[in-house]
Chains A and B, each alone.
With several copies, the nearest count.
Chain A
Amino acid sequence: MTGSKVTTLTEAVAAHVRDGMTVALEGFGHLIPFAAGHEIIRQRRRDLTMCRMTPDILTDQLLVAGCVSRLVASFFASGSAGSLYEIRRRVEQHDPAPLETEEYSHYGMYCRYEAGAKRLPFQPLLSYVGSDLPALNPRIRSVESPYGEGRVYVVPPLNPDVTIVHAQRADASGNTQLWGITGAQAPAAYAASAVIVTVEEIVAPEVVRADPNRTLIPAHAVDAVVEVPGGAHPSYAQGCYDRDSAFYREWTPISRDREAALAWIDEWIHGTADHAGYLAKLGQQRWDGLRVAPAPSGSVSYGRRKE
């Protein structure tokens, strides 16, 4: 157990995210670290290499805001809600500038984080045989199996300068617990030089230690812990609040019109001091509509040795 790493999002981003860095913001449809991404926009970081399996609206927004020059990803749309038009404009029309992209399948991208976390020179997977993907991504290579089953594709480690994730809870030293869809958060955190964790709630160490199997990112891998309730909006936090599907639908026409997207960034990000300000602007009524009813996991026992 180490000392408290609790700080503000302003300070955490200022301390750990610098221009030109490779930054992973992970969360697979769930627990997407929107509040942290918005703070990167507020602090006007530039020339970032953004790593996200599913770029989602968050990446579209960071692109509109001019923070990102390079994208490492495995999906270039927004789940059920369709295109991310800023990404499409950058790629299809080089408007306002081309976007360098590095593309994988989901498992390829996941394996890059795994290799990064485990300091392996490469990780094999069964995908890509016959695909055009390796031809356009020279980082996807192949290795001959020394057991005689032929060649297999491999991906190299991905080691971000900083990884940012959002979770349901952590203690002050950074022991981080998440449930529901756990995505690439743990390997992306272990692969990085610095890790910022934003959480719905900072809890007492006793809460974490009552259920150690839920800790997916231990304190030793975490540099900053920030309590940011609602920090995944418009994505969701299992058990806390639901996805704001209306927001996802609303983003499509905004994203389609670059001026509208810039205006949105100005109004909602630069126009608010922090995530609390963003949520206040969103309004209590909208937030109430995202609340979920409780569905308890139930408790198991870990046992204590009797004296």
Chain B
Amino acid sequence: MTADSSRHGSGPSTAERSSAGRPVADVADVPPHSAEFLATVAARELAGRHRVFAGVGLPTLAVDLAKRTVNPGVELVYESGVVGAHPEAMAEGIADSVLVSGSEAMLSMDALFGYVLQGGYVDVGFLGAAQVDRVGNINTSVIGDWRRPEVRLPGSGGASDIMASAREIVVVLRRHDPHALPADVDFCTSPSPVRARRQEGFHQPEGAGVTTVITPLGILRRPDRYGELELAAVHPGVTVAEAAENTGWDLRVRADVAETPRPRAEDVRLLREEIDTVRLYLR
């Protein structure tokens, strides 16, 4: 499963103490580190995309919101084999029965990973991560040494398969600090094309790797297949300096760095009143 594996500490992070439960009177009370804010930013990334491979957690909220706002035709694909999901309720995981009932196709895992994913049908792979580094390598395996790690993370699941073959990867991080965004990952579960290229003589994967990282502070983007992550936007109230200081490498800032537009009241209302009514991800 391509779980939202960003929480590798114990106890809730600041990002988890969100504004859920309050009325949507003023969207200014939706802070940039909240699930509502991040999901809305992530949803916007799906505008114009045909097919999205969605993981658990924030990606679930984001694809649902995108389908109700910027991209009603987006096709939701899950590693469990579901293609063209039309869930009647919010999915609690990528193998939830609500994703299956009423879906357009329920494929074998071989067809899903082999035909759909390796076959190049996935436009955006939506992943969580514990760490993303400068060139977009992802770590979802361990913090510390693999033999006896400080934290045993969930591992690859489908992530390294998705990284190799989805056209591009969007990552949502629940924290923005040098641990989550180091210069180099502790362990590379899912490699950037930059790292894949170093393995000379190997058939190179088709995927462009991580193109976008959405964090509680801003949006990082890689300009091309072999480039490095740059600061493309900061969230309202966040300074460029703040984003740079909290990144584990000397973060390049785009000349056209922008401020992320706030969620609309309707986005927040949909998330709270129609999508995550049980407050599974909005806490």
Q: Does A179 contact B (CB under 8 A)?
A: yes
Q: Does A291 contact B (CB under 8 A)?
A: no
Chain B 81-106: CB-based contact to A (< 8 A → 1; otherwise 0): 11110101100111111101111111
- Segment at the A interface, from B182-190, B258-266, B267-275: B182-190
Known contacts A75-B155, A152-B203, A305-B98; 19 additional CB pairs below 8 A are: A28-B80, A29-B1, A30-B97, A75-B157, A79-B94, A92-B148, A104-B156, A106-B109, A110-B113, A127-B164, A130-B193, A133-B156, A150-B201, A175-B104, A183-B80, A190-B119, A220-B116, A243-B97, A302-B100
Given contacts A131-B188, A131-B189, A208-B104, contact A175 B84 (CB under 8 A): yes
Q: Does A202 contact B (CB under 8 A)?
A: no
Verify B94–A29 contact, CB threshold 8 A: yes
Which of A126, A145, A303 sits near B165, CB closer than 8 Å? A126
Nearest Cβ on chain B to A177's Cβ, whole angstroms: 9
Collect the chain A residues with CB atoms within 8 Å of residue B98's CB.
Answer: 305
Verify B81–A236 contact, CB threshold 8 A: no
- Residues of B contacting A: mostly: loop
Given contacts A1-B84, A29-B1, A92-B150, contact A245 B92 (CB under 8 A): yes
Determine which residue in A29, A30, A303 has the highest number of CB atoms from chain B within 10 A of its CB, and name it. A29
Verify B73–A1 contact, CB threshold 8 A: yes
Residues of B in contact (CB 8 Å), total 85
A295 to B89, CA, bound (A): 15
Collect the chain B residues with CB atoms within 8 Å of residue A295's CB.
Answer: 101-102
Q: Does A288 contact B (CB under 8 A)?
A: no
A196 to B210, CA, bound (A): 34
Which size bracket describes the interface of A in this complex? 35 or more
Nearest Cβ on chain A to B67's Cβ, whole angstroms: 10
Chain A 120-141: CB-based contact to B (< 8 A → 1; otherwise 0): 1100011111111100100000
Chain A 39-57: CB-based contact to B (< 8 A → 1; otherwise 0): 0000000000000001000
- Segment at the B interface, from A12-20, A59-67, A209-217, A260-268: A209-217
Given contacts A105-B161, A114-B114, contact A29 B190 (CB under 8 A): no
Given contacts A145-B203, A218-B105, contact A30 B95 (CB under 8 A): yes
Residues of A within 8 A of B (CB): 1-3, 28-30, 54, 73-77, 79-82, 87-88, 91-92, 94, 103-108, 110, 114, 117-121, 125-133, 136, 142, 144-145, 149-152, 171, 173, 175, 179-184, 186-187, 190, 205, 208-210, 212-213, 215-216, 218-221, 236, 238, 242-243, 245, 292, 295, 302-305
Determine which residue in A129, A142, A145, A187 has the highest number of CB atoms from chain B within 10 A of its CB, and name it. A129
Q: Which 5 A-B pairs have the closest CB atoms?
A: A29-B95, A130-B191, A130-B196, A215-B105, A77-B154
Collect the chain B residues with CB atoms within 8 Å of residue A110's CB.
Answer: 109-110, 113
Verify B161–A181 contact, CB threshold 8 A: no
A145 to B81, CA, bound (A): 29
Chain B 41-62: CB-based contact to A (< 8 A → 1; otherwise 0): 0000000001100001100000
Which of B79, B148, B197 sits near A106, CB closer than 8 Å? B79
Which of B88, B97, B105, B137 sits near A236, CB closer than 8 Å? B97
